[in-house]
A and B are shown apart, each in its own frame.
Chain A
């Protein structure tokens, strides 16, 4: 399953790269990509549901930049 999420207030390209790295390491995520320019997060997973993963994702994002939010 592949899903794209909009991100808000993502205003540092290096943070985006760090978030991408952190999200890729979350269990169940087979591929993650953040486009700083498009302010978008694309996640691929083998699992049926993304709900659990997304909780981890939000945590990882907040940890790097607490202003930034993922629109679920």
Chain B
């Protein structure tokens, strides 16, 4: 608790004790009023003071003014204990609200505690700590175990494991060694690292993430704008109703004190605070909870829109699949071993991803001296000489070029044929691997109410279809050029109904136009990719498709809390108003409808910070 909060707490306790004590003093008339004035002024002087000052400024319908009128009115009609109690309860509510908001700010600040405080730089043979902003590109920094990596860079010397939890939400440490690039904000766990800085602080990952998170709160959700607009006419209308209720009926039926009492009930309920605070508090919590899982949302509006996701469109490579190749099938005419060996040998000089996958499939060391006259024929494959024999490794066109009949079957993947002299040995089928959690993510999306899942790919139809059926996607569009992807998204945008939103998920590198065309663009695997962070509305720091599902779940939960709060607060307020108008509810119920409801709404809103599993 801050000093100010503590002071309020003491005032509340003192005033409450006095209120009870005064009840036992047998006094009447003016003395009684004066006795009740003591606890009233202790708890309410600041509200009264603010009310007077704000009227001087022309601010009429502010909450201090309403509370002042309601309680002074209660005094005027002889309801002294009620007047003190309403003010007391109002302050309890304010204090509680203050603490809850402060707590949720703190916990989010703690989540985002990734800003490095210093960098160790060698100056004149001595290691000194400097501000990360003073370090230039190309400087060499030293990161000791337990320290945060202050700037993005490449490891010159050392090996260690890094904790990326604060950035990605992933608890598994990441192993790094000399030559690897490292990202600012990670915590060095075990070894001493010498890092050559590749970006200055302002451009580093940490700075980008912090900027994104800090700006996210200025972009508001539709429901927040709705509620502030609503509050603007709610308070004046309730006050007008109160005035009418307090003045008109007694002209005809008399009983001024009773009608004014009913009007005061309206004034107590007329504060819109519960609503106005609970909506942004929920979104703030939701965005904070998401960033703890490595899901960065650029604004409350996107978090809100995600809850209405109807169509989710995925890019294939790098999003649903790993984007790494693997030999999935070996179709040998005779010896499988020989086929793989020759292919690997012929590819031994190449570092193309496909060559790498063949070498990985062979898995044993290769003696490169066995290969001679390697000739890479672009668009065809490789022609090499191995121990006097001509070896051909490549696509169907290469076989055709050399007049070798080959197996022309469609294998749902990239087919690499191998021939020795004029003999066809067989082929290797190479495929991109589907990510482990992709299938569960798609299934989860369906369960979360997504009507349609679509995959767009530039890859062959057969490959796309295979991935699509393996993952259980509703629609696959293959052989698309980048500009066709935008057309496809526009077509799908026509398909959505009502409030439904279209989400596009990509790796953020080549799909910036599509990301911006979709209602919500999600970029994944963004750790270290500035382009992705810039282009997308939601940024996933790691590359697991299950995070998309988690993001949608968080948004649905947050949205649910917001709706609950709005409905709950309005229902109770209107109910108590009606009861108050018919003299069934008293000031006690009214103060519950105001303060109690706002406490409950705030407690409900803080749930948004907890991430659904």
Q: Which residues of A contact B (CB under 8 A)?
A: 4, 11-15, 17, 20-21, 33, 35-40, 42, 62-64, 66
Bound together, the chains give a CA A42 to CA B217 distance in angstroms of: 10
* Given known contacts A33-B220, A66-B53, A17 and B231 CB-to-CB distance under 8 angstroms: yes
Q: Are A4 and B218 in contact (CB under 8 A)?
A: yes
Of A14, A17, A37, the residue contacting B217 (CB under 8 A) is A37
* Given known contacts A38-B214, A42-B218, A64 and B276 CB-to-CB distance under 8 angstroms: no
B280 located at the interface, meaning its Cβ lies under 8 Å from any Cβ of chain A in the complex: yes
- Chain A residue numbers with a CB within 8 Å of B542 are none
* Given known contacts A33-B218, A37-B280, A12 and B59 CB-to-CB distance under 8 angstroms: no
Q: Are A40 and B276 in contact (CB under 8 A)?
A: no
Chain B contact surface mostly: helix
Q: Would you list which residues of chain B between 50 and 72 have a CB under 8 Å from chain A?
A: 53-54, 57-59, 62-63
Specify which of B215, B217, B219 lies most central, judged by the most chain A CB atoms within 10 Å of its CB.
B217
B98 located at the interface, meaning its Cβ lies under 8 Å from any Cβ of chain A in the complex: yes
B465 located at the interface, meaning its Cβ lies under 8 Å from any Cβ of chain A in the complex: no
* Given known contacts A17-B231, A33-B220, A40-B218, A63 and B276 CB-to-CB distance under 8 angstroms: no
Of B59, B98, B281, B284, the residue contacting A64 (CB under 8 A) is B59
Q: Are A37 and B231 in contact (CB under 8 A)?
A: no
Bound together, the chains give a CA A4 to CA B214 distance in angstroms of: 10
B452 located at the interface, meaning its Cβ lies under 8 Å from any Cβ of chain A in the complex: no
Instruction: Please report the number of residue pairs spanning A and B whose Cβ atoms sit closer than 8 angstroms.
Output: 64
Bound together, the chains give a CA A40 to CA B213 distance in angstroms of: 13
Bound together, the chains give a CA A65 to CA B587 distance in angstroms of: 27
Residue of B nearest to A31 (CB): B218
Bound together, the chains give a CA A40 to CA B215 distance in angstroms of: 9
Q: Are A13 and B59 in contact (CB under 8 A)?
A: no
Bound together, the chains give a CA A27 to CA B53 distance in angstroms of: 26
Q: Are A13 and B280 in contact (CB under 8 A)?
A: yes
Of B54, B101, B231, the residue contacting A14 (CB under 8 A) is B231
In the complex, what's the smallest C-beta–C-beta distance from B566 to chain A, in angstroms?
Answer: 14
- Chain B residue numbers with a CB within 8 Å of A35 are 217-218, 220, 280
B132 located at the interface, meaning its Cβ lies under 8 Å from any Cβ of chain A in the complex: no
In the complex, what's the smallest C-beta–C-beta distance from B239 to chain A, in angstroms?
Answer: 14
A interface footprint on B207-225 (CB within 8 Å = 1, 0 otherwise): 0000000110111100000
In the complex, what's the smallest C-beta–C-beta distance from B217 to chain A, in angstroms?
Answer: 4
